């Protein structure tokens, strides 16, 4: 059984008849992220890819600049902590973090009110174009490969793709932590996220768009719904936003010019 | 069109054919909660029932004792803020809030490592028993009444019930904010939550259990999966935890004695 799951005794009821049996559930642990030995935040998450989670979270918060900025990462699941050391040894005053918005999403999210300057700085300019049928094929493959979810019904998935294939796929009980893990793996393994596609199983709210913008990802696709603020940010940040991607259907909420049809 | 939704122009693609049309999406706004004029936290949420959200959130955090403790509540959607004044005029040092865990859930959640004393204090002792078929009927009704979700595919629902009927039902883009709105409405309208049932559309992680415990709610039911920590907290807090409640099926993960079958 994988680290992310646990087998529990349960009572299963079907049409008023009860039977004792076992069921696999997803694990959830508290993980504290320390940046240059300062405690920043504690997330509730699935205990897999903790180094990626921490680096991706810090990148999303703007506290890690790029892969080169990461000097050392060390995760200890038993102690529920990940230590990240950066070259710049920047410290983040706790106060600044606590003043940020907490998002709708899973785990504490970065993000909020982008200033006009932020928007200009984060604007995603990419020549990427992708056929609608290629996106549909990616989503099919994405759902096929989301292994933990099928076993436990308890997690979200996120993936970085090019139009032909899935490059990185991660899972977590939190939809934002799944995206953090993808971005963290890209940074740690030197995988470029620019000009690529982000798939997510979760609804697309404002914070998911902001994370995509940090990673310069021009296309975000979900089988679920966006929020109005997610759509607004996608428009402002130059990101193509696709929701309800199911079978050969999809809704394009922003910058549809990157999706090729017909 | 309700306050919670917005109509947007989109491009709908079906089998490689694109057509311009309109789609309804759920709204998402930042809302800052102020307790006795001190800014506590900003949540991303659906702009409905903001007074309930604020009071329920503070109750979940242990910052509002009960309905009598609430002196005044005032929400201003345009300014994105809710002011709550309590009789005790207790102030919460920002530092304490920022040190708490951020949960997997939607919006910043309360919760976390309960001490043995917390567990004893929060232990839910209730004689409630409910037939499995009554729970199945409640879940059917719950899904039928979740109106926003059906239109937009973008929100979670939560409800407080007795075995015969749904008493309070609320919706939000965040699964925890939906629960906060239910608890807040109970406090503001003097509806007792003890010896009753909490239904939720979302996965059941540790924070949902902690909120139920604050409301002394002995039975928590979801159509979705629990996490292992959610199950552990349910066991420790004396709460009956039912997951995957779909049709006449359900899995009981903790304290199955309250569910009557056969």
Per DSSP (E only), the strands in chain A are 5-14, 17-26, 29-35, 38-45, 70-76, 81-86, 130-131, 156-162, 165-172, 197-200, 219-222, 240-246, 249-254, 259-260
The catalytically annotated residue of A52, A106, A161, A186 is A106
Mutation target among B6, B7, B11 for the A interface, most CBs of A within 10 A: B11
Residues 34-53, chain B: which have Cβ within 8 Å of A? 41-45
Note whether B135 and B197 are within 8 A (CB).
yes
Q: Over its length of 262 residues, how does chain B's per-residue pLDDT go in tens digits?
A: 567 889 999 999 999 999 999 999 989 988 999 999 988 888 889 999 999 999 999 998 888 989 999 999 999 999 999 999 999 866 555 544 443 434 334 333 334 456 677 778 889 999 999 999 999 999 999 999 887 777 777 788 999 999 999 999 999 988 889 999 999 999 999 999 999 999 999 888 888 898 999 999 999 999 999 999 999 999 999 999 999 999 999 999 999 999 999 8
Closest to B155 (Cα-Cα) out of B177, B185, B139, B136:
B177
Note whether A52 and A185 are within 8 A (CB).
yes
Note whether B82 and B53 are within 8 A (CB).
yes
Q: What three-state secondary structure class fits B56?
A: helix
Question: Predicted ipTM?
Answer: 0.83
Q: What is the mean pLDDT of each run of 10 residues along chain A (262 residues)?
A: 83 94 91 90 89 94 89 94 87 48 38 65 94 97 83 85 96 90 97 96 86 94 93 94 95 97 90
Note whether A53 and A177 are within 8 A (CB).
yes
Predicted local confidence at residue A203, as pLDDT: 86
Note whether A124 and A238 are within 8 A (CB).
yes
∠A219-A103-A239 over CA atoms, to 5°?
15
Query: Across the interface, which of B13, B104, B133 has its CB nearest the CB of A132?
Result: B13
Query: Across the interface, which of A28, A107, A226 has its CB nearest the CB of B102?
Result: A107
Q: Do A231 and B153 count as a contact with CB atoms less than 8 A apart?
A: no
Residues 129-158, chain B: which have Cβ within 8 Å of A? 131-133, 152-154
Helix A50-60 crosses helix A206-214 at what angle (to 10 degrees)?
90
Closest to B54 (Cα-Cα) out of B26, B82, B77:
B82
Query: Across the interface, which of A44, A99, A227 has its CB nearest the CB of B104?
Result: A44
Separation of alpha carbons A232 and A162, rounded Å? 25
Span A164-206, pLDDT tens digits: 999 999 999 888 899 999 999 999 999 999 999 999 998 888 8
Predicted local confidence at residue A101, as pLDDT: 38
Closest to B169 (Cα-Cα) out of B187, B195, B143:
B143
Note whether B168 and B195 are within 8 A (CB).
no
Separation of alpha carbons B251 and B253, rounded Å? 6
B20 interfaces chain A, CB cutoff of 8 Å: no
**Bridging pattern class, strands A197-200 and A219-222:** parallel
Q: What are the residues whose beta carbons fall under 8 Å from the beta carbon of A205, sequence distance 6 or more?
A: A103, A104, A105, A226, A227, A229, A230, B28, B44, B173
Examine the residue annotation and report whether A106 is marked as an active-site residue of this protein: yes
Predicted local confidence at residue B127, as pLDDT: 96
Closest-CA residue of B relative to A101 is B42
Separation of alpha carbons B234 and B242, rounded Å? 10
Q: Is A203 left (phi over 0), alpha (psi -120 to 50) or beta?
A: beta
Query: Across the interface, which of B11, B16, B133 has its CB nearest the CB of A256?
Result: B11
Please state the φ and ψ torsions of residue A221, each to the nearest 5 degrees: -130, 135
B229 interfaces chain A, CB cutoff of 8 Å: yes
Q: Do A108 and B113 count as a contact with CB atoms less than 8 A apart?
A: no
B94 contacts on A by Cβ (under 8 Å): 95, 98-99
Separation of alpha carbons A183 and A60, rounded Å? 8
Closest to B46 (Cα-Cα) out of B74, B6, B85, B84:
B6
Q: Which pTM does this prediction carry?
A: 0.87
Closest-CA residue of B relative to A152 is B225
B6 contacts on A by Cβ (under 8 Å): 228
Closest-CA residue of B relative to A10 is B253
A256 contacts on B by Cβ (under 8 Å): 11, 18
Note whether A199 and A182 are within 8 A (CB).
no
Q: What are the residues whose beta carbons fall under 8 Å from the beta carbon of A152, sequence distance 6 or more?
A: A5, A24, A25, A26, B225
What's chain B's Rg over C-alpha atoms?
19
């Amino acid at each position: 059984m994988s680290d992310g799951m646990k087998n529990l005794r349960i009572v299963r009821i079907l049409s008023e008849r009860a039977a004792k049996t076992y069921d696999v559930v997803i694990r959830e642990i508290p993980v504290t992220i320390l940046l240059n030995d300062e405690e920043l935040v504690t997330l509730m998450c699935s205990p897999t890819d903790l180094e990626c989670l921490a680096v991706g979270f810090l990148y999303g918060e703007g506290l890690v600049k790029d892969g080169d900025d990461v000097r050392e990462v060390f995760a200890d699941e038993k102690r529920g902590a990940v230590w990240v050391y950066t070259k710049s040894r920047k410290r983040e005053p706790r106060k600044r973090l606590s003043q940020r918005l907490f998002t709708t999403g899973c785990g504490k999210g970065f993000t909020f009110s982008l200033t006009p300057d932020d928007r200009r700085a984060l604007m995603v300019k990419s020549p990427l174009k992708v056929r609608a049928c290629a996106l549909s094929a990616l989503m099919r493959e994405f759902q096929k490969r989301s292994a933990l979810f099928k076993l436990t019904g308890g997690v979200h998935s996120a993936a970085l793709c090019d139009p032909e294939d899935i490059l990185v796929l991660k899972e977590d009980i939190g939809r934002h932590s799944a995206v953090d893990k993808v971005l963290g793996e890209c940074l740690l393994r030197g995988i470029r996220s620019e000009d690529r596609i982000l798939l997510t199983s979760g609804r697309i709210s404002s914070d998911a768009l902001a994370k995509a913008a940090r990673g310069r990802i021009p296309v975000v696709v979900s089988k679920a719904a966006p929020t109005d603020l997610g759509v607004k940010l996608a428009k402002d940040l130059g990101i193509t936003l696709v929701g309800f991607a199911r079978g050969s259907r999809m809704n394009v909420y922003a910058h549809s010019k990157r999706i090729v049809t017909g």
